Homo-oligomer: A and B are copies of this chain.
Amino acid sequence: MLERIEIEAFLTLAEVLHFGRTAERLHLSPGRISQTIKALERRIGAPLFHRTSRSVRLTDVGQTLYTALRPAVDDLERAVTTATAAAHRQRTRLTVGFSTPWCGDLVIVAGDRLQEELPGCDVSIQEIQLSQPLQGLRSGEIDIQLSEFPINEPDLVAGPVIFTEPRALLVGTSDPLAACDSITLEDLAQTRLIPVRGNAPDYWQAYHYPAHTPSGRRIPHARPVTYWPETLSLVGAGRGSTIASLRAARYHPHPGVVYLPIEDADPIRYGLIWRADNRTEVLHRFAQIVVKAADV
């Protein structure tokens, strides 16, 4: 394979047809151009240029080489440009996902702070579907997201817990439990849980929609649904109950739906998740900002 300097010297000389100007353009001495071309000619096995002190022009073999080499080198440089652009995009663009409005609030603040800190970068924020909580990360559409733990996947990294929220049972007003101020996990055996259907990992699904109470009693499940508004409607219509963050009461009030704190349930943990192979500077910095913002 040809050396970079050989390629550049040859192509430039073939276009300029002047050793001195070629040397100038490449910031080299004329002697070096002469030697380099000579080396290339030795390698190819024939003179590539007819030259006198008055004129330089391509030989037939030189023309053959030029015709084939020029577009190949153009492609090569385009390849580098493309990759460099992709690298720059990766360095400066960050797409952040969030699952709930309170995650969204935090992420938006952190995004603004990141852009103040790194003026060149370009943060975009989007909500993720409850039914497919990890798909955006895996497809590369989302670089990092703030969403519900537990997440324990080989291709993903879960950061520290950013904040927690107590859990609540959502029941219809006609439900016997609706009169209580709060409930315990054992009470879940009396309700029909409506889980969200999705391709979340099984352990995630089981954690958020348990099948048994701590004492081992079975918790009946209703038909799974795909979207959050649908769940709310079903609960309001007395078709079942569901478990969510207590905080959702303030963001998703619904007529006929009561939020009951579950006294003995672990709070829901929220944290950052990103792809193990996506460890860019902006991503790291964003994660730090979120951790810091959550401390306050």
Contact = CB atoms under 8 A, between A and B. Distances in A.
Contacts of A88: 45
Nearest to A62: B83
Interface in A61-108: 61, 64-65, 68-69, 71-73, 75-80, 82-84, 86-88, 90-91
Contacts of A140: 60
A83 B44 contact: yes
A69 B61 contact: no
Contact of A44 (B44, B60, B71, B80): B80
Given A7-B1, A61-B86, A76 B79 contact: no
Contacts of A8: 1
A60 B90 contact: yes
Chain A interface bracket (under 10, 10 to 19, 20 to 34, 35 or more): 35 or more
Contact of A76 (B1, B60, B87): B1
Nearest to A67: B79
Contacts of A82: 64-65, 68
A65 B79 contact: yes
A118 interface: no
A4 interface: yes
A82 B1 CA distance: 13
A75 B75 contact: yes
Contacts of A80: 1-2, 44, 65, 69
Interface string A226-241: 0000000000000000
A35 interface: no
A34 interface: no
Contacts of A72: 72-73, 75-76, 78-79
A69 B59 contact: no
Per DSSP, are chain A's interface residues mostly helix, strand or loop, or mixed? helix
A3 interface: yes
A181 interface: no
A68 B61 contact: no
Contacts of A65: 79-80, 82-83
Interface of A: 1-4, 7-8, 43-46, 50, 59-61, 64-65, 68-69, 71-73, 75-80, 82-84, 86-88, 90-91, 140, 277, 280
22 contacts: A1-B77, A2-B4, A3-B3, A4-B4, A7-B76, A43-B84, A44-B80, A44-B83, A44-B87, A45-B84, A46-B90, A50-B277, A60-B140, A61-B83, A61-B86, A61-B87, A61-B90, A64-B82, A69-B76, A69-B80, A72-B75, A72-B76
Given A44-B80, A59-B277, A69-B76, 14 more contacts: A1-B4, A1-B7, A2-B76, A43-B84, A44-B83, A44-B87, A45-B88, A46-B87, A60-B86, A60-B90, A64-B86, A68-B79, A72-B72, A76-B76
